[in-house]
């Protein structure tokens, strides 16, 4: 592992019943970064995560975390990790605070400060309630709090905001950012692409068990064939404006709704504004929307779909 690397995966492969779930992937996550791991359902994300954690034995390849080989030092490595699975399962007869104490003892961590940890995810008023009475979202929050015990060097999260309402989602995202600012490396999968754009500096896209793209979020946006869209707010003359815009060379598409949305190259966008001003059509507002990570994701994955988790 090179200096500055927190997690390194080389040639990782796994097959189930002859079907290759993960096909020789390489990943490098740097110390202190937030790294998003994307892919359609069945792409092999969860299988990859389980191999990184030592929960599934790979057919080939190596995993190194904080400079240590997982196959040689599994127990030492796991003490440095925090993990939130996609499907959280806990003892229903334990309360939330008892659950955290249980996991703290498993990790060899002190049990002091666990009340504050529950409070940090918005669960302080439920600390003494049994987990078996909780909603799916509440269980998810306790699971997330569990992953933060001991301030792990590497935090591995599989769909961390599943089942959460917007307020609880914000709690989780804020805690991820706080942990990262404190030095924790974060590796997480999510199907909520806006969430990945907000949190991650780099992402990898997995499709049919292979990494089909990996880069900075901004750089991946730059690769997409989708063009920026100009959103124009017009209180009047929308259809007249649309007719003028469609006649401009370089304009690919114009849609009329609450806003008039123009898809075009850079030069045509400038010409579009000038043409409306010249025609005497008043603009109440305008904004440019760059291609989203969703556009990139669809370009890399929509033609084929994976077959295993």
Residues 156 and 199 in one domain: yes
Strand partners of residue 264? 251
Determine, yes or no, domain membership for 135.
Answer: no
From 223, 243, 272, the end of a domain falls on 223
Q: Are residues 244 and 177 in the same domain?
A: no
Residues 156 and 75 in one domain: yes
Residues 44 and 157 in one domain: yes
Alpha-carbon distance of 251 to 248, in angstroms, equals 6
pTM for this model (two decimals) = 0.77
Whether 64 and 187 map to the same domain: the answer is yes
Residue 286 and residue 163 share a domain: no
- What is the number of alpha carbons within 13 Å of residue 235 lying toward its C-beta? 4
61 lies in the same domain as 157: yes
Using DSSP's 3-state secondary structure scheme, residue 171 falls into: helix
Residue 306 forms part of a structural domain: no
* Predicted local distance difference test score (pLDDT) of residue 162: 85
- Is residue 205 included in any domain, yes or no? yes
Q: Is residue 52 part of a domain?
A: yes
191 with 279, same domain: the answer is no
DSSP state of 246: H
Q: What is the pLDDT along the chain (309 residues), one digit of tens a residue?
A: 455 889 999 999 999 988 899 999 999 999 999 999 998 888 999 999 999 999 999 999 999 998 899 999 988 888 889 999 988 999 999 999 999 999 999 988 999 999 999 999 999 999 999 999 999 999 999 999 999 999 999 999 999 998 889 899 999 999 999 999 999 999 999 888 888 889 999 999 999 999 998 988 877 776 666 667 888 999 889 999 999 999 999 898 898 988 999 988 778 888 988 999 899 998 889 887 766 677 777 777 775 444 434
Could you tell me if 259 and 215 lie in one domain? no
Last residue of a domain, one of 204, 223, 242: 223
Are 159 and 281 in the same domain?
A: no
Number of compact structural domains in the chain? 2
pLDDT score for 146: 96
Question: Does residue 125 belong to any structural domain of this protein?
Answer: no
Backbone angles phi, psi at 9, to 5 degrees: -120, 130
Tokens of 291: 């291609």
Q: Are residue 11 and residue 75 in the same domain, yes or no?
A: yes
Kindly state the tokens that stand for 61. 């390849």
Q: Is residue 191 part of a domain?
A: yes
Q: What is the CATH number of the domain that holds 250?
A: 3.30.70.100
pLDDT value for 269: 82
* Residue 51 structural domain: 5-80+152-223
First to last CA, the chain: 28
Structural domain includes residue 219: yes
Instruction: Give the C-alpha separation, 30 to 300, whole Å.
Output: 24
Can you give the CATH number for the domain in which 49 is found? 3.40.50.300
User: CB 176: neighbour CB atoms within 10 A?
Assistant: 24
Q: Which of 223, 248, 267 is the last residue of a domain?
A: 223
243: left (phi over 0), alpha (psi -120 to 50) or beta: alpha
On whether both 204 and 184 belong to a single domain, the answer is yes
Mapped onto helix, strand or coil, the DSSP state of residue 271 is helix
Q: In what order do the strands lie in the sheet with 285-289?
A: 251-256, 260-264, 229-233, 285-289
Q: Give domain status of residue 73, yes or no.
A: yes
Q: What is the pLDDT of residue 1?
A: 45
pLDDT at 205: 92
Taking phi first (over 0 means left), then psi (-120 to 50 degrees means alpha), and beta for anything else, what does residue 186 get?
beta
């Amino acid at each position: 592992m090179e200096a500055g690397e927190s997690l390194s995966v080389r040639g990782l492969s796994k097959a189930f019943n002859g079907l290759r779930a993960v096909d020789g992937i390489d990943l490098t996550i740097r110390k202190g970064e937030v790294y998003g791991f994307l892919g359609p359902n069945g792409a092999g994300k969860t299988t990859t995560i389980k191999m990184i954690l030592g929960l599934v034995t790979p057919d080939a390849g190596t995993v190194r975390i904080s400079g240590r080989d997982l196959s040689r030092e599994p127990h030492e490595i796991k003490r440095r990790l925090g993990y939130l699975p996609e499907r959280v399962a806990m003892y229903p007869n334990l309360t939330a605070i008892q659950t955290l104490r249980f996991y703290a003892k498993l990790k060899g961590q002190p049990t002091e400060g666990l009340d504050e940890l529950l409070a940090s995810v918005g669960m302080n008023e439920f600390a003494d309630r049994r987990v078996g009475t909780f909603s799916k979202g509440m269980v998810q929050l306790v699971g997330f709090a569990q992953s933060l015990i001991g301030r792990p060097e590497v935090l591995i999260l599989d769909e961390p905001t599943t089942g959460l309402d917007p307020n609880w989602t914000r709690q989780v995202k804020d805690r991820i950012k706080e942990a990262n600012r404190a030095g924790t490396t974060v590796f997480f999968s999510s199907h909520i692409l806006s969430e990945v754009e907000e949190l991650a500096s780099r992402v990898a896209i997995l499709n049919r068990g292979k990494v089909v793209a990996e880069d900075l979020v901004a750089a991946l946006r730059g690769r997409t064939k989708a063009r920026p869209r100009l959103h124009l707010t017009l209180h009047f003359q929308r259809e007249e404006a649309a007719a003028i815009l469609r006649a401009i060379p370089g304009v690919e598409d114009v849609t009329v709704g609450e806003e008039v949305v123009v898809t075009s190259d850079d030069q045509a966008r400038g010409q579009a504004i000038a043409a409306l001003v010249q025609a005497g059509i008043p603009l109440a507002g305008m904004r440019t929307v760059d291609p989203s990570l969703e556009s990139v994701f669809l370009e890399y994955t929509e033609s084929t779909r994976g077959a295993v988790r």
